[in-house]
Chains A and B, each alone.
Chain A
């Protein structure tokens, strides 16, 4: 049998399943029919010619095949005709894919070229900007130099009476004292709005800041006439201020006396001297410092002492019951006892632990709470043990104390007769309580006892 598939292309996935077999079957049928006809035709003819091979089937098949031509080639042509549409579509798809790929590649090349170009432009732009900034910096420097030169030359101009030169000389202790070096001088308008910048361009006269040299001298430059405030700040954070008037056409040259040395720390012990036989257990004594200033040559000097609350008034609140027992609480500074409840007592502390005086402040926080042992338990008094260990930075010292007395549920402010005392370098201060204050305290105590008595009678 003839192999019709000899010239057929390799099978394809998109080829119809029966295509090859259909072609083979059709051509085979044709060849079989032709062979059969050859047999019939030659059998009839051979009867006359007596040819021994004329009716031989293989010969007939061979002759039919010869007449057929090349069946394999025909089969291939039929297969190609059937697959022509798909083959063309595939070629078209392949061509399109190739075109798209080439286009994408071209686009990538274009983008890459564009990025390179942009990067080069950015680098060039950065270089240009740097160059421009450098030129601007140089230009600004030249302008500032010209401005400084103009300012320096201004005083020599006879016609300028609005701007006058000002200088200050600072001396320690007295006008003949040694020069005060390193003192910061600040000249500003007293009407200057708070928060305004020193170099506010809208201000006629900017704030001048300068520091004295080793000769205690400071040149404030040209100052527009007017009223100013001069602030002086010593290297140890002590400062003063004074008014300065600058007159038109009249240069200002002033000598100012400043403190010779910093304030000296003093350790202070406070002792409260109660009258003989007076029971002071239920008395609170609070101490605080006065404003720390000192006067020198008509100037008041203030101190920015970072240890403002060094006064350590350690109060030890204690609850005293009717049988004399004591319930000690924590040692706290700013404290009060809240006796408003019937069954609980709160110890509250202010945020300022060393103030010693915020007895009625609203920002008190409860730090301790006590349960009253039973309903009939009453307190007749509260004792605050006071110990004052103070370290002051001032000499002379100004110390004040106000006595307070408590009754359950509230506290009473004693008639505020300040017990003020001043002592120089004394490290141990005695606080003498006037008899008037003692009498008032006794009066409060009597009221407390009356309240306790009343409560006891009610409870019994």
Chain B
């Protein structure tokens, strides 16, 4: 998968994953990988800076739990994050619809 295409949608996908419930870094990677059919494998070097950035933007909040003797950081979507996700989904749909239109995918043309 082209990373340039992925970068633009990374934050939206993380917000989408967290809209299903609180999760932590590794689980988010696995969820995205699973739900994309193995297309999108988030790299740790992109994942954690993006999660921290969204947290500073108050779109995410976090808390710590104890798991098998280790500390684990969970992220969850805030109210502001939920609004941002809705806006980005709308944005993506418009974008995808436009691209599909140009490519003729809506009409079954290849």
Q: Is the CB of A81 within 8 A of B52?
A: yes
CA distance A28 to B69 in the complex (A): 12
Chain A contact surface mostly: helix
Nearest CB on B from A88, distance (A): 13
* A345 is an interface residue with CB less than 8 A from chain B: no
Q: Which of B28-54 contact A (CB under 8 A)?
A: 30, 43-45, 48-49, 52-53
Which of chain B's residues have a CB closer than 8 A to the CB of A133?
Answer: none
Which of B10-18, B70-78, B85-93 lies at the interface?
A: B70-78
The number of chain B residues with a CB under 8 A from chain A is: 20
Q: Which of B30, B43, B56, B70 contacts A29 (CB 8 A)?
A: B70
Once bound together, how far apart are the Cα atoms of A77 and B49, in whole Å?
Answer: 7
> Are B26 and A30 in contact, CB atoms less than 8 angstroms apart?
yes
Q: Does A344 contact B (CB under 8 A)?
A: no
- Name, among A25, A26, A69, A70, the residue most crowded by chain B CB atoms within 10 Å (CB to CB): A26
Q: Is B25 part of the contact surface with A, judged by Cβ < 8 Å?
A: yes
The answer to whether B70 and A25 have CB atoms under 8 Å apart is yes
Q: Count A-side interface residues using an 8 Å CB cutoff.
A: 21
The answer to whether A29 and B24 touch across the interface, beta carbons within 8 angstroms, is yes
A32 at the interface (CB under 8 A from B): yes
Q: When the two chains form their complex, are residues A69 and B43 in contact, meaning their CB atoms are under 8 A apart?
A: yes
At the interface, yes or no: A78 with Cβ under 8 Å from chain B? yes
Complex: how many Å from CA A350 to CA B1? 130
0/1 string, A47-87, CB within 8 A of B gives 1: 00000000000000000000011110110011001100000
Of the candidates A25, A30, A78, the one whose C-beta lies within 8 Å of that of B52 is A78
Shortest beta-carbon distance from A79 to chain B in Å: 10
A414 at the B interface (CB under 8 A) = no
Binary flags per residue of B65-106, CB closer than 8 Å to A gives 1, else 0 = 001101111000000000000000000000000000000000
Cβ-based interface call for A34 (8 A): yes
A25 touches B73 (CB 8 A): yes
CB atoms of B73 and A26 under 8 A apart: yes
With A69-B43, A69-B44 given, is the CB distance from A29 to B49 under 8 Å? no
Q: Are the C-beta atoms of B49 and A30 separated by less than 8 Å? A: no
A71→B43 CA distance, assembly (Å): 11
In residues 16-32 of chain A, which contact B (Cβ within 8 Å)? 22, 25-30, 32
Q: Measured between alpha carbons, how far is A34 from B24 in the docked complex, in Å?
A: 13
Residue of B nearest to A21 (CB): B71
Q: Cβ of B26: which chain A residues have Cβ within 8 Å of it?
A: 29-30, 33-34
Partner of A26, one of B45, B48, B56: B48
B73 lies within 8 A of A29 (CB): yes
B49: chain A residues within 8 A (beta carbon) = 74, 77-78, 81
The CA-CA distance from A71 to B26 in the complex, in Å, is 14
| Residues on A with beta carbons closer than 8 Å to the beta carbon of B45 | 69-70, 73-74, 77
Distance in angstroms between the alpha carbons of A73 and B67 in the assembled complex: 25
User: Inside 8 A of A33's CB, which chain B residues have their CB?
Assistant: 26-27
User: CB-defined interface of A161-179 with B at 8 Å, one 1/0 digit per residue?
Assistant: 0000000000000000000
- Kindly list chain B residues whose C-beta atoms are within 8 Å of the C-beta of A81: 49, 52-53, 56
Q: How far is the CB of B28 from chain A (nearest CB, A)?
A: 10
Contacts A34-B26, A81-B49, A81-B52 given; indicate if A22 touches B73 (C-beta within 8 A): yes
Nearest residue in A to B43 (C-beta to C-beta)? Answer: A69
CB distance from A77 to the nearest CB of B (A): 6
Rounded to whole Å, the gap between the CB of B33 and the closest CB of chain A is 11
Establish whether residues B44 and A74, one from each chain, have CB atoms under 8 Å apart when the complex forms: yes
A78 CB contacts on chain B under 8 angstroms: 48-49, 52
A2 to chain B, nearest CB (A): 12
Chain B residues, CB < 8 A from A77: 45, 49
Query: Least Cβ distance of B88 to chain A in Å?
Result: 21
Residue of A nearest to B53 (CB): A81
Bound CA–CA A70/B46 (angstroms): 12
A376 CA to B67 CA, complexed, in Å:
128
Name the residue on A nearest B71 (C-beta).
A25
When distances are taken between beta carbons in the complex, the residues of chain A under 8 Å from B72 are 25-26, 29
Tell me how far the C-beta of A40 lies from the nearest C-beta in chain B, rounded to whole angstroms: 12
- On whether the beta carbons of A26 and B25 are closer than 8 Å, the reply is yes
A32 to B72, CA, bound (A): 11
- B-contacting residues of A (Cβ < 8 Å)? 22, 25-30, 32-34, 37, 68-71, 73-74, 77-78, 81-82
Q: A25-B73, A34-B26 are in contact. List 10 more A-B contacts (CB 8 A).
A: A29-B67, A29-B70, A29-B72, A29-B73, A30-B26, A30-B44, A37-B30, A73-B45, A78-B52, A81-B52
Q: Which 3 A-B pairs have the closest CB atoms?
A: A33-B26, A25-B71, A26-B73
- B residues sitting closer than 8 Å to A (CB atoms) are 24-27, 30, 43-45, 48-49, 52-53, 56, 64, 67-68, 70-73
Please name 10 pairs of A and B residues whose Cβ atoms are closer than 8 Å in the assembled complex, sorted by A. Answer: A22-B64, A25-B71, A26-B48, A26-B71, A26-B73, A28-B70, A29-B73, A30-B24, A37-B30, A74-B44
